Amino acid sequence: METKVLILEDDIVNAMHMQVVLESAEFEIIGIAGNYIEALRLFVNRLPDLLVCCIYLNNGEVAINFIEQARDIKKVPVIYVSAHDDEETLNRVMDSSPASYITKPFTDRQLLVAAKCALHKQMRLSSCNTTPEPTGRELEIIRHLVKGESSRKIADTLCISYETVKTHRKNIYKKFRVSSGYETVALAFHNQWVF
């Protein structure tokens, strides 16, 4: 199975170049986003295994904000690609625990090595952590399920779409190997995610 990669880069020439390089190594590019909203939509719909992100976008957005929201949905490694290597940028980026950081211009080999190292590190971390933990958003949804709320009610309460709640529930079922809301609630009590 190919590794799914989402690229957040507003320079289409750079983005297409990254796509060609990664696809040559059998990575599957699930999308190229030029802004935060588009990246989040692609992330929620396709749940990538790796993110390659430009830090500062031309419209003033900062990729780190997208990463924080994305990781509430699914923990994935991030490779930052940027022309900036000043201390302020590096300190800001380090708080989001990137798997790698590449400065522009970069070689094809640097991008491929960073991608392979990021995935290897993620696999090692996953194998050490045998019991998955729910993300912040998953935990919110689980707590609403415990209250007996429907997906529609959860969507209204959390101010997110019904489809987003359905996607979260599907991901929760898959992640924790349960097949219903009842099993999810039982698991939540067993693991003391709720009191």
pLDDT band at 51 (very low <50, low <70, confident <90, very high): very high
Residue 195 placed within a domain:
no
179 or 78, higher pLDDT = 78
Is 97 in the same domain as 157? no
Contacts of range 88-96, beta carbons closer than 8 Å, 24 or more positions apart: 89/55, 92/64, 93/55, 93/64, 95/64, 96/64, 96/67, 96/68
Mean pLDDT of the residues in the chain: 88
Question: Average pLDDT for residues 36-47, to the nearest whole number?
Answer: 92
Is 104 in the same domain as 26? yes
Give the CA-trace dihedral at 140, 44, 155, 175, to 10 degrees: -40
Which tens digits make up the pLDDT trace of 107-146?
Answer: 999 999 999 988 887 777 665 555 678 888 898 999 999 9
Is 140 in the same domain as 121? no
Last residue of a domain, one of 77, 96, 128: 128
Last residue of a domain, one of 128, 149, 179: 128
Is 111 in the same domain as 40? yes
Half-sphere exposure of 194 (CA within 13 A, CB side): 16
CATH of the domain at 53: 3.40.50.2300
Q: In this structure, which amino acid lies at residue 61?
A: E
Which tens digits make up the pLDDT trace of 144-194?
Answer: 999 999 999 999 999 999 999 999 999 999 888 888 888 888 888 877 887
At residue 125, the pLDDT reads: 66
Last residue of a domain, one of 74, 98, 128: 128
Q: Total structural domains in the chain?
A: 2
Domain range enclosing 84: 4-128
pLDDT at residue 63 above 90?
no
Is 76 in the same domain as 169? no
